[in-house]
Structure 1
């Protein structure tokens, strides 16, 4: 079958769709008929600018906000819902008024609400025009990748295709179609002919090679509408090596043809994938995480393929910024050492576990990793234990310290309101934050959600959680009367059935935490806390707003004690060495540690301590990375 794969809005403008590009690359390996990728989100960008009559510079911001920040309110999906509704003019007017009120209740600015309403009005015309162009290609099957806010845009275009050409197949895949959600989509939207549950390579290869629908009844992971019923084939777990290097030629061809492409091109980063699943989730899944769905089993490509993949992508497309879509960086054979040795000017991003040490982070920076998303989630060890993060507050603080030293942008979030959270967990973070304003603040502070596939969702009783149905946004996204929103939803309303603390007290503490993080963000740019080593002396510069104590010179035992806790050290060993060197008692050394902890110079946790100041070694970040990696900066 001739197959067209569509990446609908609201895919990130600056990222070619790795899902579409990877599956399209199967055709270059000789599997079946040609596969054509369509980057419809770039078409939508051009269409919306023209239809709204706004400047492209303004709409870039609107698009990014809807796609990246307002997913939790269902905005991107709702905009395309008008193409599916059959409620008439009066019903549409009521739907617009209700949803606008919903957005205002959640603090969305009036100007943006107006833009959302305007986009809803023009989206059906876009879906119709795109469907017309797709049908004109003569393709037999149209496949849509759907994750985050892409489901309803895909449905809107799919319905328009079936209205024009009922004999063509409409196929959906991606995160919104995993396990029961995919079959729920087919029940709710009868024009969808098939969905792919799980990974798509096997199913897409089968579609491409098929001569007719009858050839698809056993395609792996495919749920097919066949002979009046749904024919379900179980998905298969693909080895990571089965995925070809994505081909992004179609994205760049469309981008070059896009007016105002200069607004997007400088920020483009090429997605790639080295692994699937999560090795930590296999061992102990984080309580709130439903990200991997049915694909938790961890599989990784050999590390040597990292350099090969990035060379292929960057040389083919002339873009040196790259972006790993892996859930988590491989522990051992991850290829970073070879990439660092390659001495190329490629930059990249990885999601990582936050208990990485100096050597690992030094290697990452030497390999060109300039941005990471660590699973920090909290600065309270007690809360981290509740979340099953497998890390402590000291691990997370050490990670932030080293990233700041190396110029690695750490993008992280702070979570609260998890089951069994105590006032003490919030209070310890409130006390800590004024001392770490020189470190990267969290992007957001939010309550823990209950998402499908997470332990909170799968076993709510184990955590004292009562599920109360899908989040409210789904009544706007899927507005049909006979729609089973519980089967379609990914995020759910919930309440805790076991009260561990006074609700009013916890609410007040969470509000204080949010306010303190807001102040952290404001102060971060002016906060300075660093030290420099001399031969036998350390000079400390403490200019953190509100808590800074100025300049200090540490000598003899204080110098030795401070050095022993840089990037973390064992307290017993440090205290013993300083006591022996200076002849002071161990209690006197412990008193020094307590004084430093009160000043926020160090963080103490159990048997370990960590200097919170940043080393200002008068070297560039790469030189510092090479030092931490264990190499000489002089090569």
Structure 2
């Protein structure tokens, strides 16, 4: 069957959809009918700018905010659920009654957004986007029909479900014989079957990974061939027939085909605002090796695909070389849930000596060697699963790391120029006042490290241990989050089956509830101050021969410039990037003959000043190294390269000789 694959809003404008591009690439490697990828979110962007009269930069800012920050409020879905495209029993032509109902809906939803802290100007922009969405859906459906596909497949994750449903319903109204298929995170089991039960114009959903399903769909000659498609839930004779999905190897996924994205991007009148910032998504693994061992309590990200599978590490360089050479884009973006522990390909990528930059999600207990290897390979942005700076809270969350690991990771990122994007969670089940108080005490001493992007309450998402076993965590589920009543408006729908995120409460009434609320508010305020102070905060050291110079210019707690000599210098160096306190003290005693009691008193003083973080029997220097070695090493390389004619008669220098490369 001829297949059109559509990526609806609100996929990032700066990234082609890896979902439809990977499936489209199958057509380049296997027999079957054609696959046409359609980047509907670029169509929507052009339409919105032209019909609202906004400056493109204004629209891009609003689009990014809706897609990246407001998905938790259902904004992107709500924009596409208006009159004339109200998904459900069937679209109705707008009349005076629907106009009144729409006005009431907009007033109610606007009040909901204001209650959640959304700025008034942004609320007005959201309402303006909803007003033009029906006309866009109508025109976009006409464009899709002109492709003459037999089947239209929509990828859906986060805020893409209702935009996909709106366009799908418009297609079905125009051409009932065309087949509508949905896939993606919003259609994983059992949500996919719930979507089909709620929206009868959806003919099928792909549950789980899509490569095997799309391969079979392309070979199908008619609807009779669809019943055996792997992972397909199919509507037939009033029933939903379900075929079990296939768990595939990561290596079975081809390199994504992004040509159609760049062709559509070039036609965008303001493409120059997007093109310089494009990052090419790629995938090296699926599932989560940590989740296989001990799933984080709040994480439902992998759904039914938790089993970890990874491509051979050598394919990293091969994949990035193919993508960057083909498209001339050197910024890349790994969509993996977690970086592979072994055979991740970073060493080979570093050895390739290309100026490719990339992003990975990582576990935060990586040490200096691993983080250094990442930076050498061009990893400049990471999303570490930090979540908390309390070891007790991290144990509750099953993170497999401690505050010590998380702080060390942030220190290493600061030293190596890696941008760490992370979130701070609170209000997890069984959280104690002590967990919040120890973080409040710590934060003033780490304003020089990257602050969290957000501070938020822990959520209960489908597929997470919280959702699957609420009794184990002493919580009770109170149904879907409030946003779903605005997303799925028909009260007859089973919102519980359609929802991904759920309201919850602890089963035991807490005697310290008021205290916990005050502490959480203080934590949020303290992080806000951290963000304000970060750019002016400096806590760094430089090594000399038998001397350490420490610059402590952290706002409100800094103690200025210090010179550490002799035993103090040695003790400080022992705890750079972390070390066991007893062993550090013992080594320094042996080297300097300084009494152990004096060294331990020194450590206690450093702890009070926030120079060293102590956890169990370990100590970690919180300052970051400011050695300039990387820059000087690069300058030395460039200087040597610049001696062309003068040095031509000289014999070549062996690699690494003379210490030119740091």
- 1:618 deviates by 2.0
Q: 1:84 aligns with which of 86, 89, 112?
A: 86
Task: Give the match for residue 597 of structure 2.
Answer: 587
Q: 1:338 aligns with which of 326, 342, 348?
A: 348
Q: Whole-Å Cα distance in 1 between the matches of residues 136 and 598 of structure 2?
A: 74
Task: Give the match for residue 526 of structure 2.
Answer: 516
Aligned ranges 1:487-502 → 2 under 5 Å: 487-499=497-509, 502=512
C-alpha contact 1:407 1:621 (8 A) present in aligned 2: no
Q: Whole-Å Cα distance in 2 between the matches of residues 84 and 224 of structure 1?
A: 23
- 1:51 deviates by 1.4
Question: Is 1:412 aligned to 2:415, yes or no?
Answer: no
Question: Is 1:254 aligned to 2:260, yes or no?
Answer: no
Q: SS state of the match for residue 536, structure 2? A: coil
C-alpha contact 1:365 1:622 (8 A) present in aligned 2: no
- 1:580 deviates by 2.4
Q: 1:426 aligns with which of 436, 442, 446?
A: 436
Farther-moved stretch of structure 1 (364-373 vs 496-505)? 496-505
C-alpha contact 1:223 1:233 (8 A) present in aligned 2: yes
Aligned ranges 1:529-540 → 2 under 5 Å: 529-540=539-550
Task: Give the match for residue 627 of structure 1.
Answer: none
Task: Give the match for residue 46 of structure 1.
Answer: 46
Q: 1:459 aligns with which of 465, 469, 491?
A: 469
Aligned ranges 1:244-323 → 2 under 5 Å: 244-323=254-333
- 1:115 deviates by 1.1
Give the TM-score normalised by the residue count of structure 2.
Answer: 0.94
Q: SS state of the match for residue 144, structure 2? A: helix
- 1:286 deviates by 0.2
- 1:481 deviates by 2.5
Provide closer, same or farther for how the CA distance between residues 457 and 20 of structure 1 changes in structure 2, counting only shifts above 3 A: same
Q: Whole-Å Cα distance in 1 between the matches of residues 118 and 660 of structure 2?
A: 49
Deviations 1:553-608 (A, max 9, x none): 11111000000000001111101111223323322211111100100001011111
Task: Give the match for residue 150 of structure 2.
Answer: 140
Q: Whole-Å Cα distance in 2 between the matches of residues 618 and 129 of structure 1?
A: 56
Aligned ranges 1:93-104 → 2 under 5 Å: 93-104=103-114
- 1:31 deviates by 3.0
Q: Whole-Å Cα distance in 2 between the matches of residues 89 and 173 of structure 1?
A: 32
Higher relative contact order (CA 8 A, sep 6+): 1
Task: Give the match for residue 571 of structure 1.
Answer: 581
- 1:111 deviates by 1.1
Task: Give the match for residue 28 of structure 2.
Answer: 28
Q: Whole-Å Cα distance in 2 between the matches of residues 118 and 262 of structure 1?
A: 25
- 1:227 deviates by 2.0
Deviations 1:236-260 (A, max 9, x none): 1010000000010000000000010
Farther-moved stretch of structure 1 (50-59 vs 285-294)? 50-59
Q: SS state of the match for residue 80, structure 2? A: helix
Unaligned runs of 5+ in 1: 625-630
Aligned length: 629
Q: SS state of the match for residue 552, structure 1? A: strand
Task: Give the match for residue 176 of structure 2.
Answer: 166
Task: Give the match for residue 634 of structure 1.
Answer: 661
Q: Whole-Å Cα distance in 1 between the matches of residues 340 and 120 of structure 2?
A: 44
- 1:622 deviates by 9.6
Give the TM-score normalised by the residue count of structure 1.
Answer: 0.98
Task: Give the match for residue 562 of structure 1.
Answer: 572
- 1:73 deviates by 0.3
Q: 2:447 aligns with which of 437, 451, 464?
A: 437
Runs of 4 or more consecutive aligned structure 1 residues displaced over 6 Å after TM superposition:
none
C-alpha contact 1:422 1:500 (8 A) present in aligned 2: no
Task: Give the match for residue 230 of structure 2.
Answer: 220
- 1:280 deviates by 0.1
Q: Whole-Å Cα distance in 1 between the matches of residues 65 and 631 of structure 2?
A: 32
Q: CA RMSD in A?
A: 1.2
Unaligned runs of 5+ in 2: 635-655
Q: Whole-Å Cα distance in 2 between the matches of residues 338 and 31 of structure 1?
A: 33
Q: Whole-Å Cα distance in 2 between the matches of residues 533 and 501 of structure 1?
A: 51
Q: Whole-Å Cα distance in 2 between the matches of residues 567 and 330 of structure 1?
A: 23
Q: Whole-Å Cα distance in 2 between the matches of residues 274 and 205 of structure 1?
A: 21
Q: Whole-Å Cα distance in 2 between the matches of residues 106 and 334 of structure 1?
A: 41
- 1:157 deviates by 0.3
C-alpha contact 1:423 1:501 (8 A) present in aligned 2: no
